[in-house]
Amino acid sequence: MAPAQSTQYEVAQHMYAARADDYDSSWHPSYTARFMQLAAPQPGERVLLLACGTGLEAEHAAPLVGESGLVVGVDATDSMLAVFRAKRDADPVLAARTCIVQHDVTNLSGCAAVEPGSFDLIVCSNAFVLFKDPAAVVRHWKTYLRDGGRMVIDVTHERNLRQGLLMEVVAERLGVPFPSDRRWITSRDSFRRVLEGEGLRVDRVEALEKVSGKGTIYLGAEEADAQFDFITGMPLTSELATDEFKQKARPLFKEEWKKASVDGKLEVCDILYVYVARKV
């Protein structure tokens, strides 16, 4: 029953190819503004944006690094980078201070313009939970930081998009690979431990609320079917959500929904944790 497992690079390309045209019309620009205030690029810095997508972080970073700084954006998806390139072509500051590369962000070896030990700031937003081995990714990225350099990454709250977490459990029960991995996040300290385990010093952890503007909601059992359809209709799950999968998964999803509910309600948060860590 299980489909052939795609690589993370292939999953990212598939997920985001159809989202490029309207990505900047979503909640992402307003969230990016909040996130980049915490990242705080400085004049003259070399900044590496991993999973840079349409260049939202670059629009904030390029003016701040100044004429002596550089912003390098790396992403997997052609269509997302096409949007970024169009912005770059239309904006002299982006054109002068950014470099765009298509590459696998979990394996930067041989990536043009990305040299070990050369960056003051590494940023990754709204992508880290796609990676299957968080510690290995942090360990790899750390090699590209200068001593004293910063790594700023966000991960989801443990009850963010709870429906998707339930689907991860269901997929595992059915022996089907799932394209994201969030179950290791059980509190705001989960990713702190990963970062510290790789020798980084965590300077700051912030919980940014109302990421998509919805806030925390509580869903009743009568909404389980609609939420199942919502999750299986997302680009994230489109490859695994065959008719056979959905037929077998729906009753299991309802079982997991019931187990996760408190007083008949499933709590769904709209929060991301942002971590500012330093190479020491």
pLDDT digits (tens, 9 = 90+) for 37-54: 999 999 999 999 999 999
Q: Is 214 left (phi over 0), alpha (psi -120 to 50) or beta?
A: alpha
| CATH H-level, domain 8-157+181-211+271-279: superfamily | Vaccinia Virus protein VP39 (3.40.50.150)
Q: State yes or no: pLDDT of 81 exceeds 60.
A: yes
* Predicted pLDDT of residue 2: 41
Confidence of residue 226 (pLDDT cuts 50, 70, 90): very high
* Predicted pLDDT of residue 264: 94
Question: What is the average pLDDT across 203-230?
Answer: 96
Q: Which two tokens stand for residue 85?
A: 């390139």
Question: What is the average pLDDT across 6-22?
Answer: 76
19/247: higher pLDDT: 247
Contacts with 3 (C-beta within 8 Å, 6 or more apart), sequence order: 176, 177, 239, 240, 242
Contacts with 19 (C-beta within 8 Å, 6 or more apart), sequence order: 80, 235
The answer to whether 27 and 213 have CB atoms below 8 angstroms apart is: yes
Q: State yes or no: pLDDT of 207 exceeds 70.
A: yes
Confidence of residue 6 (pLDDT cuts 50, 70, 90): low
Query: What residue segments make up the domains of the chain, in order of their start?
Result: 8-157+181-211+271-279
Q: What are the distances in angstroms from CA 7 to CA 14, 62, 76, 176, 254?
A: 11, 31, 12, 14, 29
* Predicted pLDDT of residue 239: 81
Question: What is the average pLDDT across 74-97?
Answer: 97
Q: State yes or no: pLDDT of 150 exceeds 70.
A: yes
> Edge-to-edge strands of the sheet including 46-50?
98-102, 70-75, 46-50, 119-124, 145-156, 272-279, 200-208
Q: State yes or no: pLDDT of 97 exceeds 70.
A: yes
Q: State yes or no: pLDDT of 105 exceeds 80.
A: yes
Contacts with 218 (C-beta within 8 Å, 6 or more apart), sequence order: 265, 266, 267, 268
Question: What is the average pLDDT across 118-132?
Answer: 96
Q: State yes or no: pLDDT of 65 exceeds 80.
A: yes
What does 159-221 look like in DSSP terms, one character per residue? TBTHHHHHHHHHHHHTT---S---TT--STHHHHHHHHHTTEEEEEEEEE--SSS---EEEEG
The answer to whether 110 and 119 have CB atoms below 8 angstroms apart is: no
Rounded Cα distance between 111 and 108, Å, is 5
